[in-house]
């Protein structure tokens, strides 16, 4: 079964509206909506913003529904070469604010046995990329860097890109992928660019939020239809 996680209501409500036979359930503060999309079982969750919220939602989703793949959808900041509403799909994720360098590890490295960059599922990434391209959306595949920080600084976004090769910045993908790796769940993040992580990021975020979120819904719907 496919699980879909988004941080905000606006990011997941478009998918929820498409579900047939929708049934809601609650686990603590997390609401899960399970239903049929194009005749296939799907479960959707609004996780809330940040790494703790998103990783908790991913673990609960697997525990309750035994999903075998999770796609994290929503908006993201994109490196300055990207434009608002461009599509970004994660080849790898990282947690840019995870720092054990005083203990001899590299920035972002989660443990001695784990690299800073965690790979996403190749087949899932390729399918999402092909669908986005077929719909005419500009698509980039690369590293999405996550942290508990809204990136709204030219200097900070440039530093994260220099350190990790990131093409987009969000607050959830890396944490969800971390959980999926531990549980053996296929993962990819599908993000639409709302801003460029620069000094005017907040204004741009709210200007393009609705339109960018709709791009993800369109691609996900087509993905499930052809799954």
Tell me the per-residue pLDDT of 160-194, one tens digit each, with 9 for 90 and over: 999 999 999 999 999 999 999 999 999 999 998 87
Q: Are 6 and 47 in contact (CB under 8 A)?
A: yes
- Residue 193: what pLDDT? 85
Residue with tokens 């000094």: 199
Residue 145 has a CB neighbour count (10 Å cut-off) of: 33
Tell me the per-residue pLDDT of 5-55, one tens digit each, with 9 for 90 and over: 999 988 899 999 999 999 999 999 999 999 999 999 999 999 999 999 999
In the CATH scheme, what is the code of domain 2-225?
Answer: 3.40.50.1580
Distance of CA 41 to the CA centre of its chain: 20
d(C-alpha 194, C-alpha 180), whole Å: 26
Written as one string, the DSSP assignment of the chain is -EEEEESSHHHHHHHHHH-EEEEEEEETTEEEEEEEETTEEEEEEE--SSHHHHHHHHHHHHHHH--SEEEEEEEEEE-TTS-TT-EEEEEEEEETT---GGGTPPTT--BTTB-SSEEPPHHHHHHHHHHHHHTT--EEEEEEEE-SS----HHHHHHHHHHH-EEEEESSHHHHHHHHHHHT-EEEEEEEEEE-SSTTHHHHHHHHHHHHHHHHHHHHHHHHHT-
Burial (CB count <10 Å: 0-12, 13-18, 19+), residue 114:
middle
- Residue 213: what pLDDT? 82
- Point out the residues that are catalytic: 11, 195
What's the mean pLDDT in 47-76?
A: 97
- Ranges of each domain in the chain: 2-225
- Residue 125: what pLDDT? 98
What is the band of 205 on the pLDDT scale with cuts at 50, 70, 90? low
d(C-alpha 169, C-alpha 95), whole Å: 10
């Amino acid at each position: 079964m496919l699980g879909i996680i988004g941080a905000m209501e606006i990011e997941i409500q478009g998918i929820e509206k498409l579900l047939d036979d929708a049934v809601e359930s609650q686990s603590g503060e997390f609401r899960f909506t399970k239903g049929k999309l194009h005749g296939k079982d799907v479960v959707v969750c609004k996780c809330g913003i940040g790494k703790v919220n998103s990783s908790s939602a991913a673990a609960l989703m697997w525990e309750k529904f035994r999903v075998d793949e999770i796609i994290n959808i929503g908006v993201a900041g994109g490196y300055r070469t990207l434009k608002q509403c461009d599509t970004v799909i994660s080849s790898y994720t990282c947690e840019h604010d995870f720092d054990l360098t005083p203990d001899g590890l590299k920035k972002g490295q989660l443990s001695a046995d784990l690299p800073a960059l965690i790979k996403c599922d190749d087949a899932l990434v390729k399918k999402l990329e092909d669908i986005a391209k077929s719909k005419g959306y500009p698509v980039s595949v690369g590293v999405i860097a996550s942290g508990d920080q809204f990136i709204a600084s030219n200097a900070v976004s440039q530093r994260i890109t220099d350190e990790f090769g990131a093409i987009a910045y969000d607050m959830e993908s890396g944490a969800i992928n971390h959980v999926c790796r531990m549980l053996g769940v296929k993962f990819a993040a599908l993000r639409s660019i709302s801003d460029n992580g620069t000094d005017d990021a907040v204004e741009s975020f709210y200007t393009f939020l609705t339109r960018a979120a709709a791009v993800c819904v369109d691609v996900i719907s087509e993905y499930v239809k052809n799954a």
